[in-house]
A and B are shown apart, each in its own frame.
Chain A
């Protein structure tokens, strides 16, 4: 799954890091009729978690109220240099990951 995770390469100690995340996903509601009059199965990103060096930063429960190709922006203060890992899973069970390295100076 294609995604863009944009985080600063370096931040000053004690200062927040601005993180932006866009995920390529149709976020299918499960109500839309297709041309053959069948209903497109629900397929949305159900859960998303962001961890920094195994410490939870963000946990999201997304539903059908989120538009396609969701965009998330969040900030956190990295306690030390390390890797930000983002994982998500959609209704179809497909998992996606993205990572970014942040060094604290």
Chain B
């Protein structure tokens, strides 16, 4: 009996991993769906949404530096994250590439007010628009970055032996430490988290997830994080951008 119980325990996690399937398009929901009514109200009203402070910062920067080349701010954010020859590139990378090569200024640091401002303004300008990764999905699936992202998504890691898929594909809607598990989409980022008391990027949130899993936290700007962000955007399908979101 004893050995059979042990065998069952060995089989069970494996069987569970097999049961994880992608979220059907009709059931896709952004993180906002899993927040309290208070936070949803705060997010919906631009007069109350603290993320709008950074949108204002970005608006000023964009008007001063970017409008000469980019007439329409709405079309920029939905194109990212995307797969390029050198790997996956997110909106922050694209902004920094412009800052370095076109404006001839030093790169902006991750989580700096200035970079968060650009990101928040561009994502806010694209509110309601679906990311391009939805329409370019078939070609995206053949890229190395997408495959890397997918392998990280399903890989069990850390002391708790968890994978991204385990929670965000398999257990969304259930609670973990008094928080509802979301589907892990990034359409609301950069997001104002009351826990952070500031606006933060999707990268910061993903790194926090690695910390929570008690796994090795990839360094800021790591190629693996970018690949994961790309895969995450693909997973989000045609979910509309809704940044800056407000989260617990």
Asked if A4 contacts B197 (CB within 8 A), the reply is no
Closest to A7 in B: B47
Asked if A68 contacts B57 (CB within 8 A), the reply is no
Residue of B47, B48, B52, B194 with most chain A CB atoms under a 10 A cut-off: B47
Q: Which of B180-204 contact A (CB under 8 A)?
A: 194, 197-198
Q: Which of A14-69 contact B (CB under 8 A)?
A: 20, 22, 24, 26-27, 67-69
Measured between C-beta atoms, what is the minimum distance from A63 to chain B in Å?
Answer: 16
Residue of A4, A26, A73 with most chain B CB atoms under a 10 A cut-off: A4
Asked if A68 contacts B53 (CB within 8 A), the reply is no
| Bound CA span A73–B48, Å | 9
A2 lies within 8 A of chain B by Cβ: yes
B135 lies within 8 A of chain A by Cβ: no
Measured between C-beta atoms, what is the minimum distance from B166 to chain A in Å?
Answer: 32
Asked if B53 contacts A69 (CB within 8 A), the reply is yes
Closest to B45 in A: A20
Asked if A68 contacts B197 (CB within 8 A), the reply is yes
A76 lies within 8 A of chain B by Cβ: no
Asked if A69 contacts B197 (CB within 8 A), the reply is yes
Q: Which residues of B contact A2 (CB under 8 A)?
A: 53, 56-57
B50 lies within 8 A of chain A by Cβ: yes
| Bound CA span A6–B53, Å | 12
Task: Tally chain A residues at the interface, Cβ within 8 Å.
Answer: 14
Q: Mark B39-62, 1 if CB is under 8 A from A, else 0.
A: 000000001101011001100000
| Bound CA span A37–B88, Å | 37
Q: Mark A69-89, 1 if CB is under 8 A from B, else 0.
A: 101010000000000000000
Q: Mark B196-219, 1 if CB is under 8 A from A, else 0.
A: 011000000000000000000000
Given A2-B53, A24-B53, decide whether A68 and B48 contact each other with a Cβ distance below 8 A: no
| Bound CA span A27–B48, Å | 18
| Bound CA span A11–B56, Å | 25
Given A2-B56, A4-B56, decide whether A69 and B50 contact each other with a Cβ distance below 8 A: yes
Asked if B197 contacts A67 (CB within 8 A), the reply is yes
Asked if B197 contacts A22 (CB within 8 A), the reply is no
Task: List 29 A-B pairs, Cβ < 8 Å.
Answer: A2-B53, A2-B56, A2-B57, A3-B53, A4-B47, A4-B52, A4-B53, A4-B56, A6-B47, A20-B47, A20-B48, A22-B47, A22-B48, A22-B52, A22-B53, A24-B57, A26-B197, A27-B197, A67-B194, A67-B197, A68-B197, A68-B198, A69-B50, A69-B53, A69-B197, A69-B198, A71-B48, A71-B50, A73-B48
| Residues on A facing B (Cβ under 8 Å) | 2-4, 6, 20, 22, 24, 26-27, 67-69, 71, 73
| Residues on B facing A (Cβ under 8 Å) | 47-48, 50, 52-53, 56-57, 194, 197-198
Interchain residue pairs A-B with the least CB separation, the first 5: A68-B197, A20-B47, A6-B47, A24-B53, A69-B50
